[in-house]
Amino acid sequence: MSGNWIAVYSLFVVSSLCAAAEPIGAHNPSVPELEVLERMAGTWEASFGGSDEVIRSTRIWVLDGRFLKHEFAVSNGALRGIIYRGYDQKNARYTLTFLDSQGNVSLLAGHWDAEQKTLRLDAVDSSCPVRRYESSFLDDSTEQWTIQIQGDELTEVSGVAKKIP
């Protein structure tokens, strides 16, 4: 399995490094577009397509509520990383920045489709291992995601996360 594949696989086969008791916070009200990401904040249990493993993670607001931070580690601890989701006001687009302990970096940008309740983000250039990230909300507590990973070949993976009250 290539390093890029492991890095992207870990996006969704993760366990939180954040304490569950840590305050989640709220988005910055001066950036109204961040309201879309508010649905992603909190504690989640995720399953990776084809796996019976359930992973718990917590996503919190940081930097004055301008970014939603998600720290993760794969279950065996071989890879750690941080994902930041935000909104670029200058370019009117949502952003996702993925950084990991193997040196992988992916920068994605895209838009929210309110009718489909879907956030679609594409890599900003060809160097990003994560080519596309799509997150759809079936309801207020269910996120279905699909990602495309560019390694030796293009691979698509998916899963479902449930928000924990």
What are the sequence ranges of the domains in the chain?
3-164
pLDDT in tens, the chain (165 residues): 455 444 444 444 433 333 344 568 899 999 999 999 999 999 888 887 777 777 778 899 999 999 999 887 666 667 778 899 999 999 999 999 998 888 889 999 999 999 999 999 999 998 888 899 999 999 989 999 998 988 888 888 888 999 998
What is the CATH architecture of 3-164?
A: Beta Barrel (2.40)
Residue pLDDT, tens place only, 21-54: 456 889 999 999 999 999 999 988 888 777 777 7
What Cα–Cα distance (Å) separates residue 67 from each residue in 51, 58, 127, 155?
A: 30, 14, 23, 28
Stated pTM of the model: 0.81
